[in-house]
Amino acid sequence: MKLTLTILSLFAFSVLHAQDVSSMMKDAERLETLPNEKAALARYKEVLKLQPLNIFSLNKASELCSRIGKRQQNAKMSEDYYLAARTYAGIALKINPNNSESNCVMAIALGRSSLNKSGKEKIESAKEVRKHVDVAIKNDPRNFKAWHVLGRWHYEISNLNAFEKTVVKLLYGGLPFGSLEESVRAFEKSQSITDGFLLNYLEMSKAYKKNSQKEKAVAAIRKMLTLPNHTEDDPSIKEEGKRLLKSWSGI
């Protein structure tokens, strides 16, 4: 009888526990769509206290840390968020090394944290970003964020300065081929999968412009400005787009 009651108590606790987690995850999604990304991140952290191996919450926590980190004015605070983003993604990858979203958020975290770096650190990060984004796309060809990261990768590699190219050649014997054409193709692939990703339109327009496709660059910005905001970054993304349009109007 005692054993039966214990089993029933454990079962009831497990059910309530699962309901709590489900409720918190729904609330986290709601907060992200408001958007209130810090509050959403806090909710996913609560989920992870109850379920440390919840891979969806680990992926979302990583992605949100990367986004929030990019908006910080203090460099140390940004790096703290990026470190957290890499940590969450790293735990997720230990659970499932082939998970598309886990590889994607790791690529995002590595890419964001390397933006202000140069030389050897930047090249090392670029190699890791490419490794993770390739796995992400291989395991989910419709991962639009992964295609976007690949577009950014090609754009950055095609624009390495002379010193960075020398570092690549001396230390690594080269990197996978990177070109503006491939950058454009990856951004277009991301856009074909989902039409509301504002950051992709902005970066795609820059790649078009760099690739001497000014009309497409302008069209991409104008289309982006008609789309609704989804993230806390979107208002500033639109402002940058307006500044680009203004600067390109005199060319």
CA pair distance 162, 24, nearest whole angstrom? 49
CA–centroid distance for 153 within its chain:
12
pLDDT at 19: 66
Q: Is residue 53 part of a domain?
A: yes
Q: Is residue 129 part of a domain?
A: no
Q: pLDDT digits over 149-160, tens only?
A: 999 999 988 887
- Pick from 248, 250, 182: which is nearest to 219 by CA? 248
End-to-end CA distance of the chain: 84
Q: Is residue 51 part of a domain?
A: yes
Cis omega (within 30 of 0) on the bond before 35? Answer: yes
Q: Is residue 22 part of a domain?
A: no
CATH number of the domain that residue 45 is part of: 1.25.40.10
Neighbours of 72 (CB within 10 A): 14
pLDDT at 173: 62
In which band, very low, low, confident or very high, does the pLDDT at 113 lie, cut at 50, 70 and 90? confident
Burial class (CB in 10 A: 0-12, 13-18, 19+), 131: middle
pLDDT at 11: 42
Q: Is residue 76 part of a domain?
A: yes
pLDDT at 161: 74
Q: pLDDT digits over 197-233, tens only?
A: 999 999 999 999 999 999 999 999 999 999 999 999 9
- Is residue 170's pLDDT more than 70? no
Query: What tokens appear for 136 in the block?
Result: 């992400």
Q: pLDDT digits over 59-96, tens only?
A: 999 999 999 999 999 989 999 999 999 999 999 999 99
In which band, very low, low, confident or very high, does the pLDDT at 15 lie, cut at 50, 70 and 90? very low
How many structural domains compose the chain?
A: 1
Q: Is residue 59 part of a domain?
A: yes
pLDDT at 233: 96
Neighbours of 196 (CB within 10 A): 14
pLDDT at 4: 47
Q: Which domain holds residue 53?
A: 36-113
- Residue 141's SS3 state is coil
CA pair distance 27, 21, nearest whole angstrom? 10
Q: Is residue 189 part of a domain?
A: no
**What distance separates the 2 farthest-apart alpha carbons in the chain?**
84
CA pair distance 231, 196, nearest whole angstrom? 11
Sign of the dihedral through C-alpha 146, 150, 126, 118: negative
Burial class (CB in 10 A: 0-12, 13-18, 19+), 35: middle
Residue with the bigger pLDDT between 178 and 237: it is 237
Query: What tokens appear for 157 in the block?
Result: 């590699």
Q: pLDDT digits over 18-68, tens only?
A: 668 999 999 999 999 999 999 999 999 999 999 999 999 999 999 999 999
Neighbours of 16 (CB within 10 A): 10
Q: Is residue 137 part of a domain?
A: no
